[in-house]
Amino acid sequence: MSPLKPRLKEALRDGLLRWYRRDRRDLPWRRTRDPYRIWVSEIMLQQTTVKTVSPRYEEFLGRFPDVKALARSSEESVLRAWAGLGYYRRARAMREAAIKIRDVHGGAFPDRYEDVLSLPGVGRYTAGAVMSIAFGKPYPLVDGNVARVFARLFALRGDLKTSAMSQRLWALAAELLDRRAPGDWNQALMELGATICLPEAPRCSACPVSRLCSARIGGSTGSYPESARRVRAEPLRVEALYVERGGRVLLWKRGDGERILKGHWGFPEIRHVDARPGKLIKTLRHSIMNHRIVLRLRYATLQGGGRPKSARWVNREKLREYLVSSLWLKCLPPRDGANSGLGGNRGTRYLFSPVGSRK
């Protein structure tokens, strides 16, 4: 694609910036220039909708108001604060990044692009967002919304996910960037994609730059972006066990080798423990990342001996302090369910002894 004409660039910037400053949504992270707060919002908004993030953002900041508070927190407390937002590796990486900012940058959020980019969990998009929005520095960004807007504005042919197309999109973002207002410009592009240039049905009649849009002019908005090959979700069966004894429930800390929810507490699966499964409590369908899960949770009694570190008995009232993922929360059995499947545990030799639970 040849360089864009200066008049086209200016017209796009003028039209989009004027519209953004007049019509943008009033979102909590748009009321601050604090890089920590902007970074938190950008990480939360990856893969999660504005509607879900908005109320959780303030809660998270209430709990971890600055980098130092996040750096001195435990991983479990951060995961709990992240409950329901999904993609938990983002939360772990944020805590690691906060520790790095504390240890390497004295607790002050770095204002050099290379330093921001070197933080755990931060890629080119997030670094560009923090640098432009918090510090007003001229760094471009491309996310899914921006890519779709560009595909339509400039009638770009090809799969947006290829590396060649990615290079092209980033080059366009750099060329179009309004260096006088990089933060507003980047947000204006994303806002257009999120509210007007929607994936399925773009609202071209409300679009501030429709007269400059190649797809609209050519009457072919439905042809862009060209459909990429969909990644097929992998089916996954989870046979989980609910083992209760004296008001305490057996939980299992999932290891790094698990396909889903690595490092999370959950109910043990049948492959984790030597157990006799009983009555079915619930069958649940759920999706996590690229997995289409069918989970069956059963009451169970344990057999055999041994005492692996991965297990812990937890008071039933405290389960929600450990179970972060909605996969587990959605299948918690009713309070009186402990005696409904197995007729009690008397006489059973347990694989684990109680190893304590939190107060």
- Minimum gap (Å) between residue 25 Cβ and ligand SF4: 16
Give the count of residues interacting with ligand SF4 (CB under 6 A).
Answer: 15
213 lies in the site for ligand SF4, by CB under 6 A: yes
- Minimum gap (Å) between residue 185 Cβ and ligand SF4: 15
Task: Assign 239 to helix, strand or coil.
Answer: strand
Q: Is 42 a catalytic residue?
A: yes
The nearer residue to ligand SF4, 132 or 145, going by C-beta atoms, is 145
Contacts of residue 62, Cβ cutoff 8 Å, sequence gap at least 6? none
Site for ligand SF4 in 185-204 (CB under 6 A): 196-197, 202-204
Contact 17, 184 (CB under 8 A): yes
- Minimum gap (Å) between residue 219 Cβ and ligand SF4: 11
- Minimum gap (Å) between residue 182 Cβ and ligand SF4: 20
Q: Which residue among 42, 191, 244, 269 is the active-site one?
A: 42
The nearer residue to ligand SF4, 83 or 204, going by C-beta atoms, is 204
On the 0-12 / 13-18 / 19+ scale of CB atoms within 10 A, 129 is buried
Q: Which one among 221, 281, 312, 327 touches ligand SF4, defined by CB under 6 A?
A: 221
Q: Which one among 97, 172, 215, 260 touches ligand SF4, defined by CB under 6 A?
A: 215
Angle at 93 between CA 286 and CA 44, to 5 degrees: 60
Binding mask 295-314 for ligand SF4 (x = CB under 6 A): --------------------
- Minimum gap (Å) between residue 317 Cβ and ligand SF4: 51
Q: How far is CA 170 from CA 111, 132, 143, 181, 199, in A?
A: 21, 15, 10, 18, 20
Which stretch, 5-13, 31-39, 209-217, 298-306, contacts ligand SF4 (CB under 6 A)? 209-217
210 lies in the site for ligand SF4, by CB under 6 A: yes
Contacts of residue 188, Cβ cutoff 8 Å, sequence gap at least 6? 16, 17, 19, 20, 24
Q: Which one among 17, 67, 131, 207 touches ligand SF4, defined by CB under 6 A?
A: 207
Site for ligand SF4 in 127-156 (CB under 6 A): 149, 152-153
Contacts of residue 313, Cβ cutoff 8 Å, sequence gap at least 6? 245, 248, 249, 250, 251, 352, 354, 355, 356, 357
Contact 278, 304 (CB under 8 A): no
Count CB neighbours of 296 within 10 A: 17
The nearer residue to ligand SF4, 25 or 307, going by C-beta atoms, is 25
- The pairs formed by 114-123 with CB atoms below 8 angstroms and a separation of 24 or more are 120/93, 120/94, 120/96, 121/43, 121/89, 121/90, 121/93, 121/94, 121/96, 121/97, 122/39, 122/97
The nearer residue to ligand SF4, 24 or 90, going by C-beta atoms, is 24
Q: Which residues are designated catalytic?
A: 42
Contacts with ligand SF4 by CB under 6 A lie at 149, 152-153, 196-197, 202-204, 207, 209-210, 213, 215-216, 221
